[in-house]
Structure 1
Amino acid sequence: MQKFLGLIILLAVAAVAAFFMFGKEKVAEFSGGKQIPAENLVTVTGRTGKINFIQSDKVQHFLARHGLKVTVKKMGSVEMVQEVDSDDDFLWPASQLNVELFKNSSSGARLQQSAEIFNSPVVLYSWDIVTDALIKAGIVQNKDGVCYIIDLPKLLEHVMAKTQWKDIGLAQLYGSMIIRTTDPARSNSGNMFAALAANTLNGGEVVTMESVDKVLPKIKEFYARLGYMENSTSDLFNKFLQQGVGAYPMTVGYEYQLIEYSLQHKEHLPLLKSKVRILYPVPTVWASHPLLALNDKGKKLLAALKEPELQKLAWEEHGFRSGMMGVENDPSVLDVVGLPKSIDAVMPMPSAAAMDKITKQLSSF
């Protein structure tokens, strides 16, 4: 009897193991408490940098209820619209500028539909001691708990003049002031900060094809100091957190990154609240997150992502501000400090032609 009972237990354990090894691929997701066979899901394949979002369980379950199973390849925004595979059903870059670049590329004829799904402002990430020094220098202002860069021209001037950290009261930091960013020729955050810097150096006016040559030498000077630049905004943000203030005193990123990280790593929340600061340039630039549907499968994904339930999930679980009219984003529902209720001071991006000229000049770094 004991041998028979032992055999039953062994078979039960084997069955559970087999389910976890193979069953998830065959039995799939839940829809209102009902299982959806995997063969009933339409597999949608594409590229994006929003890996944490698209691969999260809640998002995958939501998409399964819409009959979709999404697989993605991680890639920078600028790079993905330039290197499209024939089996891509969608591209999900950041910035409307990348939509224009794609339309003008050899693959542009494949675009069937596009829409802005989310928005996230471009911000700088820094640390408590750096932010305090910038406040004393009159570059940053803390208003109602939100840190705004009120003098971006002065900050850029310090960086290009190689002002030493010790000269603004940070003797503990080595070397000169620097803002680390991703490669503007491969990653959207680097590309958008190049646009913001170019506009700032152009007297606060949006750079045009007539004025771009005037600011190019200064932009090249700024980026020439950075050395190696990451291709991915998420990789840069992770290094910012891992290596700390000495290696990464200020970095360019998106607002949603700290929100998403805080929600996924709540054990680090007290340290993040005490040490990390989000700095909002005044004005900043919006990083829209448009989805480019290249066929009918991509169009189905686009429609699902526009659903109010998904938009609410995107803000409360990942920090993406909605790209849909009528959907509000309340910072009070998030356990993250220093978030404004709205982003009011926003500057337009230069034209695609002007940005293409800037990017080509910076692609040699």
Structure 2
Amino acid sequence: MPSKLKNTSKPPSQRYITSVAIILAALGLTYAPIPGLQKTIVIVSGTELQEPLQQLATKFEQKNPNIKLQLQFQGSQDMVNKYVDQKNDFKPTVLIPANGEILTELSDRLRATNNTTPFYDSPRPIAKTILVGIAWPERGKVLFPDGRFQWQKVEQAMQASNWEKIGGTKDWGSFDFVTTDPTRSNSGQVTLNLWTEAKLGTKVDTNSFNNPSVQSLFGLVKKSVYQPPRSTDILLQEFIARGPNDADVATVYESIALYRWQQSAANQGKPYQIYYLNPSIESTATAAIVRRDVDGGTADAAKKFLDFLTEPAQQAVLVQYGFRPVNNSVDLKTVPKSPWNQNIPGAEVKPNIQTLPPPNSATFTEIQRLWERVN
């Protein structure tokens, strides 16, 4: 007898399920990272950008599954030194120090050793902030009775060494000023630059640090800020945790002063007051894609991330963390959860101050040399 052929056709419902499975599999192949094509970029940033970058990196990876981001955080000067000396246990793709002059220093140091262009493209501004002073309210009223931060008052308080001698109460104890280590952090360098200008009453150049009064100032500050923190955000978290009697006045970036203000209110009952320095220095966090150990495909992926950071939606996130945008289409007051809408004592959208560019790399070098030399 002739054999009967089996009917191998599937029921309509089963055929539908199979078709859906094939479509879903195809979509998975489309949107899932493809082995061998995924790029990993290592971002090394100053600590002041740590929390917003962690949030934005997650968002970027969701939109770009073939690009993986690894975030590392260091003080800005540390970042340069470790990169030049190859002392990291990772290979950076992008460096984002607190200001572009630090990248100029890096470029000069690298060109001096191998005479090659160190970056793929021109460095890109990411976010802006300015240096401000902070103080606990009662201490600030005694030190700055007119509400204006004055370097001379801080120096006099350091020389007096305790609050009782400058109009405070005996139980306030010693006067404690805090800034970051200028051999490791941009904010410490900027602090000493502005203080030197106030001391001399003129613009600073590399010869300014040979002045005996400036050398005396550096020695006084160094004694007063024993074991200064390596980065600005670490400084502010320690300032809040220590509170009055252990940390009275500090210089930090406006961005983290605004962002961590609520934390100071929760920890100490009364939040700190912000004081705008006049003049102050604007620091623009600036990103550069480095060439060493970075291929063209990885550099393209890094460029995509930097493009992403400067889009209005991401700039708005940076505003929520207290930064001023580099994208002029973003308004400080209209961004949801903007710290400029939270009635933070002393905070101003447009402070009436002179804003200076950061010192050049030669000045930064002299600040570090003098700091290391004085006792």
Normalised by the length of structure 1, the TM-score is: 0.77
Contact 1:124 1:279 in 2 (8 A): yes
* Residue in structure 2 matched with residue 37 of structure 1 by the alignment: 32
Match of 1:291, SS state, is: strand
Structure 1 position 249 matched with structure 2 position 257 = no
Distance 1:358 1:270, change over 3 A: closer
* Cross-structure match for 1:327: 330
Map of 2:143 onto structure 1: 134
1:123–1:253 Cα contact (<8 Å) kept: yes
Counterpart of 2:194?
196
- CA distance in 1 between counterparts of 2:31 and 2:80 reads 33
Aligned to 1:285, the other structure's residue is in SS state: strand
Question: Is the contact between residue 194 and residue 219 of structure 1 (CA under 8 Å) also seen in structure 2?
Answer: no
CA deviations over 1:84-142 (Å, ceiling 9, x no partner):
25721101110222111111122773212311111111112221111121243x4xx2x
Which residue of 2 is the match for residue 285 of structure 1? 281
The residue type paired with residue 82 of structure 2 is E
- 2:317 is matched with which residue: 296, 313, 316? 313
| Uncovered stretches (5+) of structure 2, i.e. residues with no partner | 1-29, 291-298
Is the Cα–Cα contact under 8 Å of residues 151 and 198 in structure 2 kept in the other structure? Answer: yes
Q: How far apart in 1 are the matches of 2:168 and 2:339?
A: 33
Q: Does 1:111 align with 2:114?
A: no
1:297 corresponds to which of 295, 298, 301: 301
Of 198, 201, 210, the match for 1:213? 210
- The one-letter code sitting in structure 2 at the alignment partner of 1:231 is R
TM-score (norm 2): 0.75
Cα distance, 1:36 vs. partner? Answer: 5.1
CA RMSD between the two structures: 2.7
Separation in 1, partners of 2:167, 2:210: 35
Corresponding residue SS for 1:218: helix
Residues 124 and 250 of structure 1 are in contact (CA less than 8 Å); yes or no, is this contact kept in structure 2?
A: yes
Distance change (3 Å), C-alpha of 1:75 and 1:270: closer
- Within 2, Cα distance between the matches of 1:333 and 1:164? 34
Q: Which secondary structure state, in structure 2, belongs to the residue aligned with residue 72 of structure 1?
A: strand
1:47 aligns with 2:44: yes
Q: Does 1:352 align with 2:364?
A: no
- The alignment partner of 2:350 has SS state of coil
Which deviations, in whole Å up to 9, do the C-alpha atoms of 1:206-265 show, x marking residues without a partner?
2113433225413422332122111121211111111111111112211111332357x6
Report the secondary structure of 1:287's partner residue. strand
Please report how far the alpha carbon of residue 340 of structure 1 lies from its aligned counterpart in structure 2 after TM superposition: 0.4
Q: Does 1:234 align with 2:243?
A: no
1:287-317 CA-to-partner distances (Å, cap 9, x unmatched) read: 211111223333222211111111111102x
Displacement of 1:163 in angstroms is 4.8
Determine helix, strand or coil for the equivalent of 2:251: strand
Structure-2 change in CA distance of 1:239 and 1:36 (3 Å): farther
The residue that corresponds to 2:132 in the other structure is: 123
Give the secondary-structure state (helix, strand or coil) at the position aligned to 2:126: strand
Say which SS state the counterpart of residue 279 (structure 1) adopts: strand
Structure-2 change in CA distance of 1:332 and 1:212 (3 Å): closer
Alpha-carbon deviations, 1:167-190, whole Å to 9, x = none? 233222112x34211100001111
Give, in whole Å, the separation in 2 of the partners of 1:173 and 1:55.
38
Residue 41 and residue 115 in structure 1: after superposition, are their counterparts in 2 closer, same or farther (change >3 A)? Answer: same
Aligned counterparts of 1:41 and 1:270: Cα–Cα separation in 2: 43
Q: Structure 1 residues 348 and 202, CA, compared in 2 at 3 Å: closer, same or farther?
A: farther
- Could you tell me which amino acid in structure 2 is paired with residue 169 of structure 1? G
Instruction: Report the number of matched residues.
Output: 313
* Structure 2 contact 283–357 (Cα < 8 Å) conserved: no
Distance in 2 separating the partners of 1:127 and 1:41: 49
Match of 1:337 in 2: 344
1:167 is matched with 165
User: Radius of gyration: which is bigger?
Assistant: 2
Does the CA-based 8 Å contact 1:206-1:348 persist in structure 2?
Answer: no
SS in 2 for 1:118: strand
Task: Tell me which residue corresponds to 1:26.
Answer: none
Q: 1 CA distance for matches of 2:301 and 2:226?
A: 41
Structure 1 residue 82, shift from structure 2 partner: 1.7
Equivalent residue, structure 1, for 2:8: none
Equivalent residue of 1:182, what SS?
Answer: coil
* Matching residue of 2:63: 65
**Identity of aligned pairs, percent?**
19
